[in-house]
Every structure is written in C-alpha cells, then in structure tokens.
C-alpha cells in the first residue's frame, strides 16, 4: 500500500512479435498491437501523513532479478562461476531453452524448457554445495523423482493441497524442465517474513550426457528479500 503523498510509476516493456507469437508458417510476419493498458488498484483512505513526519514508510518486497547465460553448441558441461555476486537470492529457479527460441522466432516457443539430457545439476554458495549431493537426473529413463520433488519443495507446494500445473510427464517430456532452490535458512522463500541477509558468490554447475545440439540459453530467475523506504519528501530509499 503506497501512501497518498507518493506516486508509483509503472513501466511496461514489450517483447518483439516473433517472441510472443507462434506460427507454423515459414515467412510469418504477424504483428500484435496493444490498444490500451490499464492497471486497476484498490484504494483506501488512511491517516499516514502525520506518521511520515516521524519515520519513513517501509515496504518489504520480493525483488526479482533475471539473468541469461549462453552455453555454446557441442558443450557437455557449463560452470557459471559468478551467477550472482553480493546478496544471496532467497529463491532461485532456472531452465534451459534453445537460444534461437529465446531470441524470438515465429516457429519456436521461448518457454519450451528442455532437459537436454542433463545428468548433473549443482548449486554452490561460496564454494559450498547447498544440497547434500548434486542432482543426478536421468531424463532418458524417466528417473527424475528427486528433481521433480525439489521443484515442489522449493516453491512450498509439497506439503499443501496446491500445485504448479506441471505433471511428472510434463517435467520429463513436455518442455517444463525447471530446477528450483530455496536458499533461505528455514525454507521460507515463499513466505512473508524475512531472513538475515547474507552476502557471497553463487555458482551453477551443469553436465550433459550428450553434446548440446545448438547454442542454449540458461535462463535464471532470482528472488531477493528487499526493503523500500519512502520519506515525507517522496524520496525513495532502497538497499539494493
């Protein structure tokens, strides 16, 4: 909730049409047009103006930072040594997609995250592996129970009557191969409370049973627990 003394500016950035449209035609040249964009926000009247004279308004947010790392064709391994440097993310999700699809073509799906016969997945914080042992999936034979369960666990869906609309078959064959890690001390990345902020270096290690058939993009979604403050003069103060 933003107080009435402040203004919130929202910027929307469009992707190119070849990224958000799919077509089987070889020379497709379709165009999508946004005729109007409206953001509906509930409003309430509150007496916060006097409180702002004494202290800043503080808003806890889950800040998202995304990165893309390209892995060359024919490679059988990849090590992203400084995927994130500084504050640890609270939640990390990543997947592999063909680089041409990621850049956008009408005939490819940029959200088609494939396993590409991954055989090893490990995440290191300051050189220490966060799991007791690396993930060792076998997608060819469908032995990926640990990887599939870890996705639900990191998103806090394993002990609830909730899902993420990804079945085991989707995970193995359907282009929904994502790896998720909850990096908080108490497994609360999806919860509202905050943990102590830690600093360090995050490394991602991947190995493949077969050479990559084409240049591949590793798309990484990182979520950080952050704080935004706004004072009576409408100054926005961040810690990141």
- The boundaries of the domain holding residue 224 are 17-239
Model pLDDT, residue 5: 53
* CATH code: domain of residue 99: 2.70.9
Which tokens is 138 given? Answer: 């076998």
Report the pLDDT value the prediction gives residue 6, as an integer from 0 to 100. 60
Query: Is the residue at 96 inside a domain?
Result: yes
| pLDDT value of position 46 | 62
39-62 per-position pLDDT tens digit: 887 766 566 666 767 788 888 889
The answer to whether residue 9 is domain-embedded is no
- pTM beyond 0.85: the answer is no
What pLDDT is recorded for position 185?
Answer: 84
- Picking from 146, 142, 136, the residue whose alpha carbon sits closest to that of residue 206 is 136
Q: Is residue 4 one of the residues assigned to a domain? A: no
For residue 93, tell me if it sits in a domain: yes
> Taking a C-beta distance cutoff of 8 angstroms, is the pair 94, 218 a contact?
yes
- How many other CB atoms are there within 10 angstroms of residue 118's CB atom? 21
Give 10-residue mean pLDDT values along the chain (240 residues): 66 87 86 87 66 79 94 96 92 96 92 95 93 93 94 86 87 92 86 84 96 97 91 80
Residue 11 covered by a domain: no
- For the chain, what is the domain count? 1
3 within domain boundaries = no
- The pLDDT value recorded for residue 161 is 78
| pLDDT (0 to 100) of residue 29 | 86
Q: Report yes or no on 151 lying in a domain.
A: yes
Say if 163 falls within a structural domain: yes
Task: State the pLDDT at residue 124.
Answer: 95
């Amino acid at each position: 909730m933003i107080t009435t003394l402040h203004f919130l500016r929202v910027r929307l950035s469009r992707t190119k049409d070849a990224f958000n449209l799919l077509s089987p035609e070889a020379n497709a040249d379709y165009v999508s047009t946004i005729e109007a964009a409206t953001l509906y926000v509930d409003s309430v009247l509150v007496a916060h103006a006097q409180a702002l004279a004494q202290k800043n308004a503080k808003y806890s947010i889950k800040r998202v930072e995304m990165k893309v790392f390209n892995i060359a064709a024919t490679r059988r391994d990849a090590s992203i040594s400084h995927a994130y440097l500084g504050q640890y993310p609270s939640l990390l999700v990543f997947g592999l997609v063909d680089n041409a699809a990621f850049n956008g073509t009408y005939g490819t799906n940029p959200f088609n995250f494939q396993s590409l016969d991954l055989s090893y997945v490990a995440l290191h914080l300051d050189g220490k592996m966060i799991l007791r042992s690396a993930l060792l999936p076998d997608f060819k034979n469908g032995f990926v129970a640990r990887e599939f369960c870890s996705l639900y666990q990191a998103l806090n869906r394993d002990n609830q009557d909730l899902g993420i609309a990804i079945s085991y078959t989707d995970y193995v064959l359907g282009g929904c191969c994502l790896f998720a890690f909850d990096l908080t001390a108490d497994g609360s990345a999806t919860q509202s409370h905050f943990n102590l902020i830690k600093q360090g270096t995050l490394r991602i290690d991947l190995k493949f049973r077969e050479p990559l058939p084409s240049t591949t993009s590793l798309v990484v979604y990182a979520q950080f627990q952050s704080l935004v403050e706004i004072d009576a003069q409408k100054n926005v103060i961040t810690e990141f």
